[in-house]
């Protein structure tokens, strides 16, 4: 991205499926929200977010709560329709096909038996019910299987979901390596539109994967973008709380957290997830789209982030 440019609020994705789809550059993440999911997703939508990320995985997500928020938000809007919002969910391997509202808390329901394709289809059906929608904009495989043939079997079922209009794009999260992502990309009829990964020092901020994504039309959704990079007590290791970032944030009249989001979004491949529960932080974090970060300042922050790696 050239210097002194503001990041786009949305990006066009998934040319492989000929879908006219715009994905927000920042999604609201629903993980670990539990019974607060509806309230927080509704708050995020009312304060400017236009997309959220959830999953058919009751252990970490209350997918039906996100669906309730979506329905209530659309009901109170006069100028927005379902197609104006971006809904992303995930197929969680094997036991994902749990209808949260009717499962009686049993996460071990396996509606598809040992048939991976059937598991995926059951998971998608459950998500559409939970989310009160006829399609999702983005469907991710929560993580690869230990055997690639099983990952590919699940992927083919997700491709069918695109063919049938239940999903507009597909992707994957928590891949173990760039090679694993490349193998899926090479084998897939419908290529991954996004890969969702942790974003922190222990993985080197996935620099090699992000570069490959940039070159191959895959968008990198980052999670733990702030929580893994702003823990006090580690001088020189915590980029968000570093003196350099904190001082530069004053220059741009934003918080260090917002400036770190802006740094991460400097190349157009990165789309962070945001999980704040604070109304003020929701509004503040969306100011990331107003920052024209200079190339010089980007390089200063990069030096801090990658220091000692």
Question: Mind listing the pLDDT tens digit of every residue in the chain (309 residues)?
Answer: 334 577 878 766 543 444 568 899 999 999 999 999 999 999 999 999 999 999 999 989 999 999 999 999 999 999 999 999 999 999 976 544 444 333 333 343 344 457 899 999 999 999 999 999 999 999 999 999 999 999 999 999 999 999 999 999 999 999 999 999 999 999 999 999 999 999 988 889 999 999 999 999 999 999 999 988 887 545 446 889 899 999 999 999 999 999 999 999 997 789 999 999 999 999 999 999 999 999 999 999 999 999 888
pTM of the model: 0.90
CA of 281: how far to CAs of 98, 179, 256, 276, in Å?
33, 36, 12, 7
CA distance 257 to 271: 15
CA distance 35 to 39: 8
CA end-to-end distance (rounded Å), the chain: 24
Half-sphere exposure of 247 (CA within 13 A, CB side): 7
Alpha carbon dihedral 45, 50, 56, 61, in 10-degree steps, equals -40
CB 31 within 8 A of CB 42: no
CB 91 within 8 A of CB 118: no
Half-sphere exposure of 300 (CA within 13 A, CB side): 15
- Give the per-residue pLDDT at 113: 52
CA distance 139 to 194: 9
In the chain, beta strands by DSSP E: 10-13, 21-24, 27-29, 51-53, 86-91, 136-141, 167-173, 194-198, 219-223, 270-274
- Give the per-residue pLDDT at 202: 85
- Give the per-residue pLDDT at 103: 36
| Token duo for residue 287 | 């100011």
CB 86 within 8 A of CB 51: yes
CA of 211: how far to CAs of 68, 241, 276, 280, in Å?
37, 26, 28, 33
Select from 89, 42, 29 the least CA-distant residue to 223.
Answer: 29
Select from 220, 201, 292 the least CA-distant residue to 25.
Answer: 220
| Token duo for residue 22 | 């715009």
- Give the per-residue pLDDT at 50: 96
CA distance 269 to 83: 23
CB 272 within 8 A of CB 220: no
- Give the per-residue pLDDT at 56: 92
């Amino acid at each position: 991205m050239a210097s002194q440019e503001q990041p786009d609020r949305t990006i066009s994705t998934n040319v492989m499926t000929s879908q006219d789809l715009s994905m927000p550059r920042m999604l609201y993440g629903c993980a670990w929200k539990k019974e607060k999911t509806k309230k927080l997703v509704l708050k995020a939508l009312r304060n400017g977010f236009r997309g959220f990320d959830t999953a058919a995985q009751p252990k970490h997500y209350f997918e039906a709560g996100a669906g309730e928020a979506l329905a209530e938000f659309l009901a109170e809007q006069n100028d927005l329709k379902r197609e104006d919002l971006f809904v992303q969910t995930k197929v969680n391997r094997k036991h994902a096909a749990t209808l949260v509202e009717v499962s009686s808390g049993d996460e071990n329901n396996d509606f598809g038996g040992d048939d991976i394709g059937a598991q995926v289809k059951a998971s998608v059906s459950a998500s559409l019910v939970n989310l009160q929608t006829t399609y999702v904009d983005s469907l991710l495989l929560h993580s690869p299987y230990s055997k690639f043939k099983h990952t590919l079997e699940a992927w083919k079922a997700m491709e069918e979901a695109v063919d049938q209009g239940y999903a507009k794009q597909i992707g994957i999260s928590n891949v173990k390596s760039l090679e694993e992502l490349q193998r899926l990309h090479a084998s897939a009829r419908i290529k991954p539109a996004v890969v969702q990964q942790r974003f922190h020092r222990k993985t080197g901020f996935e620099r090699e994967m992000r570069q490959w994504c940039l070159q191959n039309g895959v968008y990198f959704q980052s999670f733990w973008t702030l929580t893994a990079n702003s823990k006090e007590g580690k001088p020189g290791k915590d980029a968000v709380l570093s003196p350099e970032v904190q001082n530069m944030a004053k220059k741009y009249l934003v918080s260090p957290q917002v400036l770190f989001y802006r740094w991460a979004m400097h190349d157009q491949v990165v789309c962070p997830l945001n999980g704040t529960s604070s109304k003020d932080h929701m509004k503040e974090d969306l100011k990331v789209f107003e920052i024209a970060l200079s190339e010089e300042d980007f390089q200063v922050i990069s030096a801090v982030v990658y220091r000692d790696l």
